Amino acid sequence: MNYEFLTQGQFSAVYNMMSLTIAAMLGSFIFFVVARNLVGEKYRFSLIISSLVVGIAGYHYFRIFESWNDAFILEDGKYIPSGQPFNDAYRYVDWMITVPLLMVELVTVLALPREKSSSLLTRLTIAAFLMIILGYPGEISESTELFSERGLWGTLSTIPFVYILYVLWVELGKAIDNQSERLKTLVRNIRLLTLATWGFYPIAYMAPYFNLSGAGAEVFLQIGYSVADILAKCGYGLMIYAIAKEKTLQDNLLTQGNLATA
Ligand SMILES: *C/C=C(C)/C=C/C=C(C)/C=C/C1=C(C)CCCC1(C)C
């Protein structure tokens, strides 16, 4: 840690935000488990994956929260490092599992033709995994120079990141061309949410380049990660649910129509 202490306000802001994140993950977990029964059979798998994602993230946040709590002790009204390191590595372990799963949620809920679906699934999950794995060596390197290990791994990790955005915008757009306007809007929205929230992580990664260090930067990063994680996992899962509901509705209308004309 490159700072001497946190004020009580700084410590509590992170503490409370992490606690809120655990609550959001647990609440979403229950919601997705129950909501599985409210959508058509074809879409249940996506909701199971949504519950898995928030379940895994909820557990990791619990560990991060504990680690934060153990990393400081209150002395003379200030929180000073206790000597136990704050273990942030849980985040990368979490992303390694949950980020590919977020891609699975999206592709499976669209119920595309089998071949299209498996091709998208394979490429998106591998790219998501590579993006996280490649970022990690840079994250733990101490260097703050642009042309350093951090810069190198960050750049490598950005390649699959850009590839994912390309697939979501160009290929996925084409794949849902024949779907209803309402569904297209829902997919457009979830794509925007993905871009807006995923964009935070590489920006946070670059914090050392902007000389963002010290207690204030740590507090900003921890709160930023928490907000981004709630939106990218709970909010995202809710949007997946909305897509599943819409597709269920359309499937029902279709069978009713077929029955009527039969
Ligand atoms: C729930 C957690 C999510 C959605 C995490 C997403 C993480 C990323 C999009 C991370 C991306 C990175 C880069 C594009 C370059 C620098 C290294 C990373 C891993 C921070």
Q: Which amino acid is at 21?
A: T
Quick one: average pLDDT of 154-169? 97
Contacts of 141 (CB under 8 A, 6+ apart): 148, 149, 150, 153
The per-residue pLDDT for range 90-112, each reduced to its tens digit, is 999 999 999 999 999 999 999 99
pLDDT at 259: 82
pLDDT at 258: 84
Atom of ligand 1 nearest to the CA of 205: 20
For residue 8, give Cα distances in angstroms to 16, 18, 74, 178, 259. 12, 15, 8, 55, 66
Q: How confident is the model at residue 30 (pLDDT cuts 50, 70, 90)?
A: very high
Q: Which of 118, 109, 114 is nearest to 247 (CA)?
A: 109
The per-residue pLDDT for range 76-91, each reduced to its tens digit, is 999 999 999 999 899 9
The per-residue pLDDT for range 174-211, each reduced to its tens digit, is 999 989 999 999 999 999 999 999 999 999 898 877 77
Residue nearest to atom 12 of ligand 1 (CA): 202
pLDDT at 85: 92
Distance separating alpha carbons of residues 138 and 134, to the nearest angstrom: 8
Distance separating alpha carbons of residues 49 and 127, to the nearest angstrom: 18
Q: How confident is the model at residue 147 (pLDDT cuts 50, 70, 90)?
A: confident
Give the residue, out of 53, 59, 60, 95, with the most ligand 1 atoms within 8 A of its beta carbon, to mutate for a pocket test.
Answer: 95
DSSP 160: H
Q: Are 137 and 192 in contact (CB under 8 A)?
A: no
pTM over 0.85? The answer is: yes
Q: Which residue has the tokens 């010290």?
A: 214
**Dihedral in degrees, nearest 10, Cα atoms 46, 131, 68, 218:** -120
